[in-house]
Structure 1
Amino acid sequence: MSYLQTEIISHARKVCSLYKRSLRNLESWYDRRPMLRYRAVLLRARFDENKDVKDLRVAQQLLDEGEKELFSLIHYQPKKFTYSPGGVAYEREVAPPDWVLDYWHPMEKAAYPEYFARREQRKKEYIEWWEKTYGKPTEPSH
């Protein structure tokens, strides 16, 4: 549930987020670097015009207007980073879970004797900790 807000986000952080999302939106619209840089400079100038606003009501109104403008100009197919969620290579290489190592053949484990000795020791320590904290598991009665 990472979409739920769990902390208070400051106004400055909201402005920085709006700026970054606006800049990423520009990257989606302009593929040629000189035009992108020109638009990015114009965008930064618009943000710098209002950086000294002290009245929080006015600043909040400017932020709301900026959010609405970004929403109206958002790209129909935004660029995604390759390994980010939505990217073409997101979760392409899945990290295997730890229990897979339990099914290695003894000849495979023999190639890494120190690692597997330490792993077995830590598994025993974890089982001891678990039994001390939660008690021994009971057998289900049928």
Structure 2
Amino acid sequence: MSAGFLTAELLSHQQKVLRLYKKALRQTIGQNGRNLLDQRYNCLLVRQRFEKNRNMSQIEAQTALADGEEECYKYTNPSPLCFPNSVGGTAYMRYPPKQDAMIDMWHPFEKAQFPHYFAVRDIRKREHLERYDKMVEEYNKKQKEGVEV
């Protein structure tokens, strides 16, 4: 069993700088509210600061990145900009996805209107159940052998 929450991703310096730039822009936009002129002006100032540090040596660039991350953390907005459909947004899960099992409850007359779809669906369900049974058998077999999964 893998621990998905423990995975760490190695980032290059360029990726770290890009993420810091995006975070700084999001904070700038969040701090300026709906004033588009101030947003644009402050975003240009952020871009200018990043462009100024473009041609640094590797050591200077790493220290500048650390200072930038510190500054970004220092000026973090207590109520950050959040998109409506993202986690924590006002419209997140407003229309939750329908459960696939609901389609199994359709009346046969309703299913008869879409014969091709339900024929393919039955095949896919059967294949899925076979793969699942096979996976469970392999897991139980490894458990009996004492192999950690």
TM-score by shorter chain over 0.5: yes
Match of residue 21 from structure 2: 19
Q: CA RMSD in A?
A: 2.1
**Aligned counterparts of 1:22 and 1:2: Cα–Cα separation in 2:** 28
List gaps (5 residues or longer) in structure 1: 136-142
Q: Displacement, 1:41? A: 1.0
Equivalent position to 1:52, from 30, 33, 55: 55
Three-state SS of the structure 2 residue aligned to 1:53 is: coil
Cα distance in 1 for partners of 2:60, 2:135 equals: 55
CA distance change for structure 1 residues 131 and 28 in 2, over 3 Å: closer, same or farther? closer
Alignment of 1:67 with 2:69, yes or no, is: yes
Counterpart of 2:46?
43
Residue 117 of structure 1: how far off its partner (Å): 1.5
Q: Distance in 1 between matches of 2:127 and 2:47?
A: 56
Deviations 1:54-77 (A, max 9, x none): 2x2221111111111111111121
The count of aligned residue pairs is 134
* 1:138 alignment partner in structure 2: none
Q: d(CA) in 1 for partners of 2:24 and 2:72?
A: 6
Give the distance between the partners of 1:2 and 1:89, measured in 2 at CA: 27
Structure 2, gaps ≥5 residues long: 138-149
Q: How does 1:1-142 map to 2 (within 5 A)?
A: 4-30=6-32, 31-54=34-57, 56-130=58-132
Could you tell me how far 1:128 is from its partner in structure 2?
4.2
Deviation track 1:39-60 (CA, whole Å, cap 9, x = no partner) reads 1111111111111012x22211
Please give the TM-score of this superposition, normalised by the length of structure 2: 0.79
